Amino acid sequence: MNQGWIYTDRITATDAGLSVLDYYTSRYRHSSRAEWRDRILSGQIRQHDQAIAPADLLRAGQTLTYHRPPWQEPEVPLEFEVLYEDQDLMAIAKPAGLPVLPGGSFLTHTLLHQLKLRYSETPPIPVHRLGRGTSGVMVLGRSPLARSVLSRQLRESTAAASDPKASRPIRKTYRALIGPSDLPDSFTITTAIGKVDHPLLGYIYAASPTGLSAYSDGRVIHRAPDSTLVEITIRTGRPHQIRIHLAAAGYPLLGDPLYGIGGTPRQVEPTETGAVPGDIGYHLHAHRLALPHPRTQEPLVIVCPAPAALALPGSPTT
């Protein structure tokens, strides 16, 4: 059991006039109206540490807190290997299944919490994310300089994304497994990615004509009768970009419970809520990260060996 958590919401003018129950029911759809009513009546929703009633009307500027009691978190792999480390940055091999940040059912079973336990005085800070089901290289900032420079380099890489010949400070290359395909040996996917409605979370990211530009450069590295192994270098860092892009091209990642052909959430029955981005089962691995060192500007290349499902035949660690 963890220690529970306190979630804070500040009421905006848009939500003013709603009842407390209507606010939580509409904003956080992962729980039913009856569940939110029970929480409010039990005193878990408070204002200035005072319990409030389900029918109380909200005012702009109010701050509400939801005191979630301790809960048992799902089991996940908590150990990780350090691939590179110096005074400024660290690169680790994140295991598939480990969330990076707290959210949903996860609080202490996260990479962020494990970093705080292992490096209690000055924990390294993630400067980018990998999906829960994605394994591989993840870079962390250890000094203020590194965090600032790495964040800027990520922004610059995205800003230069529309030009395939432009110099980008950071290059992230992944391996992914899809079904049998007729993709060309080299390809580029440019489907825009934006928010779409989701019955459980309110919204998720997916292929959307009104979304932000996104660029993924791919190449096929192995074809088999039942699968295709591809390498993808992303020029932008949109949420779930590779999962969405390959699905938008007609080839969802094998085992992906969320994104179907077209790059949008798979259709479910009206009585079902469907998958969420944190659900696992797909095959995606951050294989190689190239960047200039934030202090010295010397080229740095970090490689994380691919898991068996994403390794080239005969080369299980390449």
Specify the pairing of strand 193-198 against strand 202-207: antiparallel
Closest CA to 75 of 310, 287, 286, 280: 280
- pLDDT in single tens digits along all 318 residues of the chain: 999 999 999 999 999 999 999 999 999 988 999 999 999 999 999 999 899 999 999 999 999 999 999 999 999 999 999 999 999 999 999 999 999 999 889 999 999 999 999 999 899 999 999 999 999 999 999 999 999 999 998 888 888 888 887 878 899 999 999 999 999 999 999 999 999 988 878 889 999 999 999 999 999 999 999 999 999 999 999 999 999 999 999 999 999 999 999 999 998 665 566 788 999 999 999 999 999 999 999 999 999 999 999 999 877 555
Record the tokens describing residue 86, joined without a space: 């110096």
Asked if residues 263 and 248 have their Cβ atoms less than 8 Å apart, the reply is yes
Closest CA to 315 of 278, 283, 273, 287: 287
pLDDT computed for residue 270 by the predictor: 56
Written as one string, the DSSP assignment of 15-37 is: TTT-BHHHHHHHH-TTS-HHHHH
Could you tell me how far CA 290 lies from the centroid of its own chain? Answer: 20
Record the tokens describing residue 179, joined without a space: 């079904």
What is the Cα–Cα distance from 22 to 146, expressed in whole angstroms? Answer: 44
**Domains present along the chain, CATH in parentheses:** 5-68 (3.10.290.10), 81-310 (3.30.2350.10)
pTM: 0.89
